[in-house]
Chain A
């Protein structure tokens, strides 16, 4: 696999789509406007954080209660230790039930476990029904944003894709593109035997799950097919509907700047006797896949995340490189912590390193996750060989700065050398700092160090 830095270089060489910066900034501004007109936003964020903290502190208890509640409602619960177990369960269910077509609500955890590939391999046609996710699937790509999967494409590209893959006449009119997707998907909704969703939240005390969408596809996927499978990360619980209400208040505002998303569904099990619609079977697959280990680590706070994507929109690195460069299902600031934590720091050590620690992510996080601090924690744990040179350099620097006389001598020497090396107070090229001087100059230090100036002044 390429390195993060190589993928960033590739992205710049190809030209990162302008749509990414524009789209992310748009969401960022909508969030700011929504927060500004909602006086309860800040206290609500505090409350949301408390709710997440409490759930994670007692996760085992809440998971047990949630599973019992789902079963009481007539559902089936499966605990999957990893991605393979989760996929095997769902594929096995599809085989047993003779399912040949499944429709899906957009879900990050199903991306994480690569469920679509597993189902397709088993001969189950799997259709994404969120418009953005549908486009990404048609293009054979992966989402570039947690909530706006197709942020990297403009409407002309989507028009070309539809013409090529769906055999329709080219149009880049968003309304017409929407109609085309709608016609295509409508038939799939009505013929699929299985509907697959994620779960924005599982409610522990009554066993329901909350699904947030803006297109209504979630309702169709969870009611039309005869089997509904909800896949949920094991940390995504709230205690009860009162807490759910708090989370929904901050989720939609943080994600898109909406007071509430267009469709908020609460699914509480299979169809009961006398009910006109709903699935015959309701399965909840609870996915660990590294979360238990994260819960016991120094970056456990990352599990507070409710996948709103606000940190991506705020992040200057994300805005400049786009989601695909991160190389993982979870991009942006949250991905920089989550990916190494779930899949191993050794392989993903570059992610936490590639941040200016500006803190814009923490500023907008609905549950106030201290992402910069978690990045520093991971940097501290990282012992990758690439950081060995840096470690040596910093060890020398630390040695010098803890010996004030040596420090004064060396800064004086550096000022003299720089005086010879520089022109008009700037240095154009410094071999050991070529990563800096390729695109930037470096101001030369003053000929006299501040320490010397101060000492003379005092004398």
Chain B
């Protein structure tokens, strides 16, 4: 919110929004996902302007999957198309739509960027966050295997905990090898997973959503 206002936006937040339905959609629970998608579309279609989503995964749901999910209903199909056209992932909105350059506010941390799968492969989010991190003045180091899945995958992390954790451990080893003290991402779900693993292992490495860094809340 603070970041968007710094970038000169007037921000609205419709209180009736809940969940876009992506967990149910990915789980193969189409009926449940459809109900959630309709709820989300009703709320968002009643607003104006760009719909900015601080998660590549939720944005990909609204842009790619919602129209497909409710496409057989003329009314909701039209809503889904309108909403999809207005939806932007946060960093691509800042870089591509606003041409925003954040203030040089980052203090002393060494950060590395983890590319979340759905943002990366569904929306082409790759360079935008790195550019913003460079602009904000953090010391940024590259992450080997930056585009490899951290193993979260929503319900996958609960249904297949062994593989999920093994993938997470590979990711954590790569993060440790990078020398960073902070992992930055554009999706809180991956950060929750990586962060939960780091915490359990007693690691001092922190996880931060890119908005926290850009808004200057991470001193």
- A354's partner among B29, B36, B122, B159 (CB-CB below 8 A) is B159
> Is B109 interfacial (CB 8 A cutoff)?
no
> Is A397 interfacial (CB 8 A cutoff)?
yes
Residues A440 and B32 in contact, CB atoms below 8 Å apart:
no
- B170's partner among A320, A321, A438, A441 (CB-CB below 8 A) is A320
Q: How distant is A280 from chain B, measured CB to nearest CB, in Å?
A: 51
> Is A343 interfacial (CB 8 A cutoff)?
no
Mark contacts of A345-388 with chain B using CB atoms, 8 A cut-off: 1 yes-contact digit, 0 otherwise: 00000001111111110110000000000001111111000010
A286 to B201, CA, bound (A): 54
A5 to B155, CA, bound (A): 14
Which residues of chain A are near B1, meaning CB under 8 Å? 454
A358 to B120, CA, bound (A): 9
Residues B156 and A379 in contact, CB atoms below 8 Å apart:
no
Which residues of chain A are near B155, meaning CB under 8 Å? 390
> Is A443 interfacial (CB 8 A cutoff)?
yes
> Is B163 interfacial (CB 8 A cutoff)?
yes
Q: How distant is A30 from chain B, measured CB to nearest CB, in Å?
A: 17
**What are 19 A-B interface contacts by the 8 Å CB criterion?**
A353-B156, A354-B163, A357-B118, A360-B121, A360-B149, A376-B26, A376-B28, A380-B29, A380-B30, A398-B32, A402-B35, A402-B39, A404-B15, A404-B39, A433-B158, A436-B157, A443-B192, A451-B15, A455-B15
A155 to B117, CA, bound (A): 35
Q: For this complex, into which size category does the number of interface residues on chain A fall?
A: 35 or more
Judged by DSSP, the binding face of A is helix
Answer whether A317 and B163 are a contact pair too, CB < 8 Å, given A394-B29, A440-B168: yes
> Is A9 interfacial (CB 8 A cutoff)?
yes
> Is B179 interfacial (CB 8 A cutoff)?
no
- B196's partner among A9, A390, A442, A454 (CB-CB below 8 A) is A442
Residues A439 and B200 in contact, CB atoms below 8 Å apart:
yes
Answer whether A358 and B153 are a contact pair too, CB < 8 Å, given A8-B163, A435-B161, A443-B195: yes
> Is B16 interfacial (CB 8 A cutoff)?
yes
Residues B36 and A380 in contact, CB atoms below 8 Å apart:
no
Residues A354 and B160 in contact, CB atoms below 8 Å apart:
yes
A338 to B163, CA, bound (A): 21
Residues B118 and A436 in contact, CB atoms below 8 Å apart:
no
- Partner-binding segment picked from B17-25, B44-52, B93-101, B130-138: B17-25
Which residues of chain A are near B200, meaning CB under 8 Å? 439-441
Given contacts A353-B156, A355-B156, A359-B117, 5 further A-B pairs with CB under 8 A are: A387-B28, A390-B159, A394-B23, A398-B21, A407-B19
Which residues of chain A are near B168, meaning CB under 8 Å? 439-440
Q: How distant is B67 from chain A, measured CB to nearest CB, in Å?
A: 14
